[in-house]
Amino acid sequence: MSKRNIVITGGAGFIGSHVVRLLVNKYPEYNIFNLDKLTYAGNLANLKDVEDKPNYRFIRMDICDFKAYYQLMQDKQIDGIIHLAAESHVDRSIKDPFTFARTNVMGTLALLQAAREYWESLPERYEGKLFYHISTDEVYGALELTHPEGVEPPFTTLASSRDDKAYGTEFFTEETKYNPHSPYSASKASSDHFVRSYHDTYGMPTIITNCSNNYGPYQFPEKLIPLFINNIRHRRPLPVYGRGENVRDWLFVEDHARAIDLIFHKGRAAETYNIGGFNEWKNIDLIKVIIKTVDRLLGNPEGQSLDLITYVTDRPGHDMRYAIDSRKLQSELGWEPSLQFEEGIEKTVRWYLDNQAWMDNITSGEYERYYDDMYSGR
| pTM, entire model | 0.94
Annotation says 138 is catalytic: yes
Q: Give the pLDDT score at 378.
A: 43
Annotation says 137 is catalytic: yes
Long-range contacts at 194-200 (CB < 8 A, ≥ 24 apart): 194/105, 194/108, 194/109, 194/112, 195/108, 195/112, 195/131, 195/133, 196/270, 198/112, 198/116, 198/131, 199/269, 199/270
Q: Is 373 contained in some domain?
A: no
DSSP per position, 146-201: --TT-B--S---TT--TT--BSSS--B-TTPPP---SHHHHHHHHHHHHHHHHHHH
Q: Is 325 contained in some domain?
A: yes
Bridge partners of residue 324, in order along the sequence: 172
∠ CA 216-273-34, rounded to 5° = 55
Choosing from 87, 138, 164, 254, which is the catalytic residue?
138
Q: Is 353 contained in some domain?
A: no
CA dist 232 → 79, 236, 285, 357 (Å): 45, 6, 16, 16
Choosing from 56, 69, 140, 184, which is the catalytic residue?
184
Per the structure, the count of domains in the chain is: 1
Question: Max CA-CA distance within the chain?
Answer: 67
Q: Is 243 contained in some domain?
A: no
> At 245, is the secondary structure helix, strand, or coil?
coil
Q: Give the pLDDT score at 316.
A: 85
Q: Give the pLDDT score at 1.
A: 58
The whole domain housing 161 covers 5-218+250-279+318-340
Q: Is 90 contained in some domain?
A: yes
Q: Give the pLDDT score at 252.
A: 97
> At 276, is the secondary structure helix, strand, or coil?
coil
C-alpha gyration radius of the chain: 20
CATH of the domain at 38: 3.40.50.720
Q: Give the pLDDT score at 369.
A: 62
Choosing from 62, 79, 137, 249, which is the catalytic residue?
137
Q: Which residues contact 265 (CB under 8 A, 6 or more apart)?
A: none
- Please report, in tens digits, the pLDDT of each residue of the chain (378 residues total): 579 999 999 999 999 999 999 999 999 999 999 999 999 889 999 999 999 999 999 999 999 999 999 999 999 999 999 999 999 988 889 999 999 999 999 999 999 999 999 999 999 999 999 999 999 999 999 999 999 999 999 998 877 887 899 999 999 999 999 999 999 999 999 999 999 999 999 999 999 999 999 999 999 888 899 999 999 999 999 999 999 999 999 999 999 999 999 999 999 999 999 999 999 999 999 999 999 999 999 999 999 999 999 999 888 888 899 999 999 999 999 999 999 899 999 999 999 999 999 998 887 766 556 445 544 444
Q: Which residues contact 364 (CB under 8 A, 6 or more apart)?
A: none
Chain Cα centroid distance, residue 263: 15
Annotation says 325 is catalytic: no
Q: Is 46 contained in some domain?
A: yes
Q: Is 228 contained in some domain?
A: no
Q: Give the pLDDT score at 375.
A: 42
Q: Is 180 contained in some domain?
A: yes
